[in-house]
Structure 1
Amino acid sequence: MINLKTHVKMRTAQKLYVCEVCQKSFSKIYNLKKHHRTHTGERPYICEMCTKCFARNDTLEKHLRTHTSEKPYVCEVCERAFAQIGHLRSHLSLHTGEKSFFCEICEKSFSRIDTLKKHTRIHTAEKPFICEVCKKCFTRSSDLKSHLRIHTGEKPYACEVCEKCFAHAGNLKTHMKIHTGEKSHVCDKCSKGYAHLSRLIIHLRTHTEEKPFVCDVCKKSFSRMSGLKTHMATHTSEKPHVCEVCTKSFAHTNYLKKHLRIHTAQKPYVCELCEKDFAHCDYLKSHMLTHMEDKPYVCEVCLKGFSQTSHLKSHMRIHTGEKPFVCEVCNKGFNHISHIRTHMRIHTGEKPYVCEVCEKGFSQIAHLKSHMTIHT
């Protein structure tokens, strides 16, 4: 029986081939040649399918399985197949529950060494994967690959139902809920369901009244980022969205869409009770209150009831004679903002309500309706 000292001497004597760069020794010449490539960067083995190069033939063989989908290594527990033996070994730890790799900083354990390495970057803030286009850095190679699609425009994940393409698999999964009708994210306050977690988070702010998005200029807060972006235009006076009919400009595309209904007379919001239609959702919501018997806001002068406090405030101006909305051109006062908007068209000459038959324009919708009787 060979003792340990004799065994070590035999192994040492067998390593006759020494690397001139790092002095590492090998027992066989071809192992030394393979090792040399780590210093020279030589990659003589080329994939015929994608032209990717490798330093070793066995690495090329493993890579080829990504094209052939061959998975020869099968888990005996769950029969899941893998292209590489290393992946199978890592997978087996899921069944054994073994987590032998520990983080020295927070003592969190992992079943794979590569997962531990990725985890340690949380503590070190190391971001070794750099985008060559914009120089943005990432902690994981997979994050860099996903990011690169912003520059390349690549969208490899296609919906089998409508063929819409996405840059990320997660986005495709979220999109599929449109077709399946799945609403897995449910509000625990009112049981309303949402397909996207982000939509549920936004909805929850209606219950908590949380407004995390704050304007740096005036400190006004908003529940949505989109609301803050729209608001910021009031400070910059920027109005990039222009109406092609009357050239009126708007700070936000949604405002332009609403405005266009003036020209098209489109009223997509319909009351289910009386079938009256409205151009804007807010108008429909206000109208719905007229069907409700509850009118808790009562005028102290004439005892008329209102469903909203804002309506009572507007009504009170009839009794007080208050006219807070003043025309900057002629100083005429009005008790409603809608009245001053209509009045301003006298000065601007704006006629947004156009007859579809003869194309004559009018400053007020009532005038257009009266005019239409000529054609009927």
Structure 2
Amino acid sequence: MSHLKYHTMTHTRKKPFQCDLCDAVFSTKSNLNRHAVTHTGEKPFQCDLCDATFTQKNNLQQHVVTHTGEKPFKCDQCDAAFVAKCHLKRHMVTHTGEKSSQCDLCDAAFSQKNYLKQHMMTHTGEKPFQCGLCDAAFSQKNHLKRHMVTHTGVKSFKCDLCDAAFSRKTGLKYHVMTHTGEKPFKCDLCDAAFSGKFNLKQHMITHTGEKPFKCDLCDAAFSRKNNLKGHMITHTKEKPFKCGLCDAAFKRSIDLKRHLMTHTGEKPFQCGLCDAAFTQKNNLKQHLMTHTGQKPFKCDLCDAAFLKKGDLKQHIVSHTGEKHFQCSMCDASFSRKNDFRRHMMIHTGEKPFQCDLCGAAFSQKNCLKYHIMTHTREKPFKCDLCDAAFSEPSKLRRHVVTHTGEKPFQLSHEGLISKVT
């Protein structure tokens, strides 16, 4: 058959050469012969420099270049160079933006035929790449390859600047940006920028308000899969993350990480305007607002504004009078969860906050904080009207009454002391 006749078939899409072992068809006999080798496993083309073998001569020629380091196929529009002509062809699409492979089932279009083939599996649900060690299956070979690392635990991609190691090259790439400070993925709707594409994708949800990850047991929904995973533990009451230094246990690894800082005293987030330091980045962010005077959380019912979202939430209750938190052991009810939790310790007798200097224990963290000042003799609460200073704010409030003459407590006829309202 003439070369012109073969070429004409590329226009007519006629493929007269049928494989006897599968449904594959080809426009030329030579293509059929090359395909047949995939069934026999034959690899007649041997590399002279290593043990690699190939089914096609072209593949061997491309492989030999990996020994010489030669990249003869150069891009005319940038400095990129490639060992194979097909690699250059794929690269050129990044300049032209051409997407010639169109999906018949949706509006998706792709620059490469292989990408379209992989995309079609999202419609068919086909997952031909099966893990040999578990039941996992994948639509793409690369995804299976990445999955296999979870069984081996191999982390072959090591950072040159620290001891971090990663199972994937992209993980190392994004990690290196934490050293360089590079953030190439920029948000189109605000000034935010990120080192990883995935981080940008998660950030975009903050603009759309989308919460695709829904809980099967309640109405809760989340913008991130990890947040849903952490939420599910609230239904099981499981606390798998345990502290090695005390009996504390947590639902999330990040909560354990923060807790450990209470033992080490570590406060990595330092304010640039004063000496304050914090264990959490969010706390530093909120603290900086005390310097700027910014109060971003505003009440819709009055002019009040707050530094923290939680403070606004608590303030709203002053308008509604709601008390969601009901004690099961007495008639007390509370509008704030923290107040309810502190109240419950009256019934349980729990005193989780222990002084390292004398062994005294307290039900509230603030009480321990003020108690420690009795050891250090620190008195940060100072009177504006005289030189008196105190270790606790309640003692300062009682002292101020001696200046104002105020008498907030009265004696009733029954002999009971009550606060004047």
Q: Within 5 Å, give how 1:1-376 maps onto structure 2.
A: 62=61, 65=64, 68-69=67-68, 71=70, 87-88=84-85, 91=88, 116=113, 119-120=116-117, 122-123=119-120, 129-134=129-134, 136-138=136-138, 141-162=141-162, 164-244=164-244, 247-259=247-259, 292=293, 307=306, 309-313=312-316, 325-334=325-334, 336-364=336-364, 365-374=366-375
Checking the alignment, whether the CA contact within 8 Å between 1:130 and 1:144 is kept in structure 2 is yes
User: Which is further off, 42-51 or 240-249?
Assistant: 42-51
Q: CA deviation at 1:181?
A: 1.3
Name the amino acid aligned to 2:175. H
For 1:312-342, what per-residue CA distance to the aligned partner results, in whole angstroms no more than 9, with x for missing partners? Answer: 345569xx7x866444334445564333323
Checking the alignment, whether the CA contact within 8 Å between 2:46 and 2:60 is kept in structure 1 is no
CA distance in 1, matches of 2:54, 2:157: 28
User: Which is further off, 190-199 or 246-255?
Assistant: 246-255
User: Which is further off, 325-334 or 211-220?
Assistant: 325-334
CA distance in 1, matches of 2:270, 2:42: 71
CA 1:264–1:49: 2 relative to 1, 3 Å? same
Name the amino acid aligned to 2:67. T
Specify the SS of the correspondent of 1:218. Answer: coil
Q: CA deviation at 1:90?
A: 6.8
Instruction: Provide the aligned C-alpha RMSD in A.
Output: 5.2
Q: TM-score, normalised by structure 1?
A: 0.62
Q: CA deviation at 1:211?
A: 2.0
CA 1:265–1:370: 2 relative to 1, 3 Å? farther
CA 1:130–1:372: 2 relative to 1, 3 Å? same
CA 1:109–1:88: 2 relative to 1, 3 Å? farther
CA distance in 1, matches of 2:129, 2:85: 26
User: Which is further off, 356-365 or 225-234?
Assistant: 356-365
Checking the alignment, whether the CA contact within 8 Å between 1:263 and 1:354 is kept in structure 2 is no
CA 1:226–1:270: 2 relative to 1, 3 Å? same
Q: Which has the higher contact order (CA 8 A, sep 6+)?
A: 1
Name the amino acid aligned to 1:237. K
Specify the SS of the correspondent of 2:247. Answer: coil
Q: CA deviation at 1:76?
A: 11
Q: CA deviation at 1:207?
A: 2.6
Specify the SS of the correspondent of 1:255. Answer: helix
For 1:283-328, what per-residue CA distance to the aligned partner results, in whole angstroms no more than 9, with x for missing partners? Answer: 666666666387975999xxx95535435345569xx7x8664443
Checking the alignment, whether the CA contact within 8 Å between 1:246 and 1:352 is kept in structure 2 is no
Name the amino acid aligned to 1:236. T
Name the amino acid aligned to 2:374. T
Checking the alignment, whether the CA contact within 8 Å between 2:327 and 2:333 is kept in structure 1 is yes
Checking the alignment, whether the CA contact within 8 Å between 1:269 and 1:278 is kept in structure 2 is yes
CA 1:329–1:65: 2 relative to 1, 3 Å? same
User: Which is further off, 244-253 or 122-131?
Assistant: 122-131
CA 1:122–1:279: 2 relative to 1, 3 Å? closer
Q: CA deviation at 1:200?
A: 1.9
Percent of aligned positions with the same letter in both sequences? 33
Q: CA deviation at 1:226?
A: 2.2
Which ranges in structure 1 are unaligned for 5 or more consecutive residues?
5-20, 23-35
Name the amino acid aligned to 1:362. F
CA distance in 2, matches of 1:66, 1:48: 12
Name the amino acid aligned to 1:373. T
Specify the SS of the correspondent of 1:204. Answer: helix
Specify the SS of the correspondent of 2:340. Answer: helix
CA distance in 2, matches of 1:261, 1:180: 26
Name the amino acid aligned to 1:68. H
The number of equivalent residue pairs is 329
CA 1:362–1:261: 2 relative to 1, 3 Å? farther
CA 1:316–1:42: 2 relative to 1, 3 Å? closer
User: Which is further off, 235-244 or 219-228?
Assistant: 235-244
Q: CA deviation at 1:72?
A: 8.6
Which ranges in structure 2 are unaligned for 5 or more consecutive residues?
3-19, 22-35, 378-421
**Higher Cα radius of gyration:** 1
Name the amino acid aligned to 2:165. C
Q: CA deviation at 1:204?
A: 2.5
CA 1:343–1:268: 2 relative to 1, 3 Å? farther
Specify the SS of the correspondent of 2:219. Answer: coil
Q: CA deviation at 1:68?
A: 2.9
